[in-house]
Amino acid sequence: MQRMFTRRTFVSMTAASLAARALPAQETAAQVPAPHAQMSPQFSVMIWTLKKLGTFEENLDRVALAGYHHVELVGEFKQWSEDDYRRIMGRMETLKISVDATAGVSAGFADPSGGDAFLAGLKDLIPAAKRLQCKQIILLSGKKIEGAAPGSQHAASIEALKRAADVLSAAGLVAVIEPIDRIENPTIYLDGVTEAFEIAAAVNSPNVRVLYDIYHEQREFGNLIEKFEKNIGQVGLVHIADVPGRHEPGTGEIHYLNIYRKLADLNYRGTICMEFYPTGDIVDTLRQARDQARNLLG
């Protein structure tokens, strides 16, 4: 009952805010490397969150029925045969769905002795990204190294990502670095957006930005809105889920109404990706999450 009440409250608050906001322009399927280049935010679904609920293609259908034109991947294509590629890419074309971002580089960028392996992994992923017509690559730091000299992994991250920026620029791609909370991944090095923004600022390239995952940041650090205010120019992608449980907005403690309003105030025009486990009907839940965000972002 509490979950139902919370969702209803969120919807009611959303509806009340609409009187002061104009309806947004129709989102498009155009892919652009710069996160603030489109006229209004585009919306996407991280498709791994649906994998227990159906096949990849069944979930593509659900995403399309919910009104989305973009999905994000974590490297599923590495297991596709040539027949899989042709069938799935054909289905995506029919549904007018494109891939806006993908992970898939195994090596992390924060290993002082692993810069070459990280760069090789990035180069290996680029042909697949281009085949998917995907313009944005999600990068992880890799493990925190016990006994490493203070600051060495921070410095290694900057150096590796500077090298990556040159590769990405030549390929016409953008990377976003994603912190993961240590509740979920106790061994990860980069666990918060504050350091991620510091690293991106030091790299100083339009080809390396930050993935602000609201779920991960809330679990470990909180103070979500102030970090958007101070760093919005470096945000290349936003991931959405509530805490606890990684479910849709309105099921937990994060006040998404205020977050979306702040993103509107800050004129954020990048991608907003739903990365949650739906608690109800998949299509209805995805549609509602997008509509709430779109209406508030205006």
User: What is the set of active-site residues?
Assistant: 178, 275
| Closest-CA residue to 273 (of 225, 228, 234, 240) | 240
Backbone phi, psi, residue 103, to 5°: -90, -175
Q: Please give the Cα distance from 286 to 68 (Å, whole number).
A: 9
| Closest-CA residue to 144 (of 107, 111, 176) | 111
3-class secondary-structure state, position 70: strand
Strand positions, DSSP E, 151-207: 174-177
Q: Please give the Cα distance from 107 to 157 (Å, whole number).
A: 12
Q: Taking the CB of residue 12, how many other CB atoms lie within 10 A of it?
A: 10
3-class secondary-structure state, position 136: strand
Q: Please give the Cα distance from 186 to 191 (Å, whole number).
A: 9
| Strand-pair partners of 45 | 71, 274
Query: Taking the CA of residue 134 as centre, how many other CA atoms within 13 Å lie in the half-sphere pointing to its CB?
Result: 28
**Calculated CA dihedral for residues 79, 81, 277, 107, nearest 10 degrees:** 30
Backbone phi, psi, residue 17, to 5°: -80, -15
Backbone phi, psi, residue 108, to 5°: -85, 165
Contacts of 218 by beta carbon, 8 Å cutoff, 6+ apart: 224, 243, 253, 254
